[in-house]
Structures are given as C-alpha cells and as structure tokens.
Structure 1
Amino acid sequence: MINFQEWGNLFLNQIVQTSIIEWLAVGFGISEVLLAKRNNIWLYPTGIISICLSMFLLFKVNLYAETLLNIYYLVMSVYGWIIWKKRKEDNGVQVSWSSTAEITIALLISFAGFGFLYVVLKRFTNSDVPIWDAFVSSTAWAGMWLLAKRKIENWIFLNISNIVAIPLFIHKKLAMFAVLTTILFIVAIFGFIDWKRIYNKKKLDPAL
C-alpha cells in the first residue's frame, strides 16, 4: 500500500534541500515553456540558460542520457533560434502540422535514439535507470527537432517524454525538476491547443 504521507514528507524534504542552481534552472525552464506556448522567439535564450544549469545538476546525479539530451537541447536551441529569426524576417509560415516524412523522421529519432542511448548507458556508465533515462531523452530529442521546425506535434513528443521524466526525477531526488516537468506537461497541453489556434487563424487569414 502506498504511503502518501511518507511520499509527501520526502518530497517536501527534497524541496527544502533544493540548491539555488536548481531553483534558477527551474525558473528559466518555466519561462522557456511559457514563451514557447506564446510562440515567442525569446524562449531560446531563456532556455539556453536553463539548459546549461541543468547539465551541471544532471551529471552530478548520474543521469547521463539526460545530460546528453541537454547538450542536444543546446544545439537545437541555437538552431531553432536561427530558424525562427529567419522565418520572422522572411515572413514565412511559422506554425504548421508535420508532414508524413517529418513524423517518420521524428519516430526514427525516438527509436534510434533510444537504442543508442540504452546501449551506451548499459555498457559504459553506472546508470541505474538506463531504460527510463534513454526513453525520456530520445522522445525529447524528437520533440525538440519538431519544435525548431515549428511543428505542432512537438508538444505531443515532449509530453510523452515529460510523463516519464516526472517519476524519474523524483527517484533521483530532484524534486524541483519533477515540479518543473509537471508544469511543463500542463503547459504543453495548452501549447498544443494554442499552436493549433495560431495555425487555423493563419490558414484563414494568410496576411496575419
């Protein structure tokens, strides 16, 4: 039987012991996803700060795939920043649904990424959660790739990653990261709805 009071006390204790670096990483992470929800380009510089702080923390608790994921986030953030800025200057289509080819690529990123990360974590690291760490990272890889291309489905892939990441962070005693991921999960639902609205509005009036 699950002792919710014990879990609650453990979680509160983790929050009390949260470092200033984790608080900052979470704060900038929340700002990033709120800006993404609003389709605002400033999500990228804000996210870069959160990513750099997160890499330091994740490496300390042996979440190696998550650390690699954040390196990927860093690269994709720079890539996405450039693409978003260029499209804004060119007045191009900003938000759209993925093509069949793009969904196929996203799925390949997820499956191939999972296989690669699992093997690396299992054979070359002391990770005690290779399956879950690999899964969270590989699905988020696909989501970030779609986010950089402003594809609506990015929210789906990111939330598949988020729903598994929440208990993973609790297991690793990163309470505030679990809170952040829960917030990201909720905001991503609204982000999906908002991006659909933006796309439909743009489709009805291309001049917008």
Structure 2
Amino acid sequence: MIKHPLFVIIACAISIGAGLYLNSSYIEIFASVIGVINVWLLARQKVINFLFGAIAVVSFMYIYFKTGLYAMVILSALQLIFNIYGWYYWVKNKGEDDTAPTIRLSTKGYVIWVSIILVTWGIWSYIQVTYTGATKPYLDAFIAVIGLAAQYLLSKKILENWHLWILMNLILIVMYLSTELYVMILLAIINLIICIDGLIEWKQSYKANRNREGATGTGF
C-alpha cells in the first residue's frame, strides 16, 4: 500500500486538511506536502526526489528561522547543497536499475560516523548555547547533526541513511509538539512510516544487487 501512488496522494490530502483545520501557515502546509512527496520518491529510489527535496528544505529554512531554530536553518542550507550533489552522484553512478547502486557502511564506517555525530553535536551545542538565542540548543543541534549526516549518506546512496532519518523523525515529533507545529508533527509521523518502508525496500535492492553482481560494496 505504501508503495502505491495513492498512498502519497492520501498523505498529502491529510496534511493539507489538517493544516487548514489547525489554521497553520500556508508555507507550513506547502512544506509538509512537498516533504511527503520527497521522502516517498526517495523510498522508491527516484532521482527526481532531489528536486522536491531542494524545494522542501528551502521552505523549512524559512519556517525554522521564524521559530528560532537556528541550527535547523543551517542544516537546511547544507541539505540544499547535498540535494544538488546527490542528484549529480545518483545520475553519474546509475546502474542497471537507472539509479546508483545501494551500498552499506563497513564496521569502521559505523565507528567513524558515530564519532563524527557525537563530536559535532557537542561542538554545535556549545556554539548554540554560547553565541545564539536558540530556543532548544541541545535538541536543535542534535537534530541538525543527525539530519546532515543522513543527507550525506543519502547522497552517496548508503543504506544507513534510513536509520538516521527514522531516528530524526522520532525526535522531530517531540520537538514539534513543544513548538506547536502540529501539521509538521503529522508530517513527521507520515515520513516515519515511509522511512521504515524505504529502509526495507533499499535493503531488498542492496541484496538483489549483491546477488546479481557478487558485490560487497561498503561506504566510508
């Protein structure tokens, strides 16, 4: 059901209806709808997801700036860059399935990325607390770092990006509750469902690619 285009149509309709009912801003509703389409296309491994991703992050950038989530503003700007890079990388390295093959992190890659995330979170949190008036500096910084790491892994077609997106959406639900961005709570829940489905589909794609080529590709 999630793979069917009807799912994303219904999800978008729910986001619009909920947004109008809750008197959310039009930019919030628009960002929610584009975000749903972006994640659904990503789960389906469609290169055009990067176009919708770019539009979504620009919209989110404005929303985050208005609510004082400054680390998220920086995250959105960097995600825009990674969307452009990801589009280039997927097209350049597309295989038999007209998309870049899915790869996985090695054990060394896991250790390196966990270390990068924790160290960057600590530095970013310190900067936020010391130099900005961010409303939720630690949570804001953690989500920003997770999102940035996930976006990079996504651009390189590394499977583990889904683990980070799932974690990020769980945390976003909590953050949106505290900032009363109710339509975006709904978006996070829908995206969480799609991310879980995306993880399953990418795993199947990875296994199929290994069986077809006898490959054991891993990423940094």
Corresponding position of 2:79: 73
Matched residue of 1:50: which SS?
A: helix
Aligned residue pair count = 196
Matched-pair contact (CA < 8 Å) for 2:101–2:157: yes
- 8 Å contact kept, 2:22–2:182: no
Q: How far off its partner does 1:100 sit?
A: 2.9
How far apart are 1:37 and its partner, in Å? Answer: 0.4
Counterpart-to-counterpart distance in 2, 1:192 and 1:89: 20
* Structure 2 counterpart of 1:79, one-letter code: Y
CA distance in 1, matches of 2:113, 2:92: 23
C-alpha separation in 2, matches of 1:81 and 1:116: 30
Cα distance in 1, alignment partners of residues 124 and 38 from structure 2 = 26
The match for 1:57 is: 63
Aligned counterpart, 1:3 = none
Unaligned segments of structure 1, at least 5 residues: 1-11
Alpha-carbon distance, 1:134 to partner: 1.0
Answer yes or no: is 1:87 the counterpart of 2:93.
yes
Partner of 1:32: 38
**Which residues in structure 2 correspond to 1:1-208 (within 5 Å)?**
16-88=22-94, 94-206=101-213
Aligned partners of 2:110 and 2:44: how far apart in 1?
23
Contact 2:91 2:99 (8 Å CA) reproduced: no
TM-score normalised to the size of structure 1?
0.87
Given that 1:166 and 1:182 are in contact with CA atoms closer than 8 Å, whether structure 2 keeps it comes out as yes
DSSP 3-state at the match of 2:93: helix
Give 1:92 shift.
8.1
TM-score under structure 2 length normalisation? 0.82
Instruction: Tell me if structure 2 keeps the 8 A contact 1:159–1:185.
Output: yes
Q: Secondary structure at the match of 1:166?
A: helix
Please list every run of at least 4 consecutive aligned residues from structure 1 whose deviation after the TM superposition is greater than 3 angstroms: 12-15, 89-93
Give, in angstroms, the shift of residue 50 of structure 1.
Answer: 0.6
| 1:123–1:30 distance in 2 versus 1, CA, 3 Å | same
1: CA distance between counterparts of 2:51 and 2:39?
Answer: 12
Partners of 1:49 and 1:171 in 2: how far apart? 25
Letter in 1 for 2:172: A
Which runs of 5 or more structure 2 residues have no equivalent in the other structure?
A: 1-17, 215-220
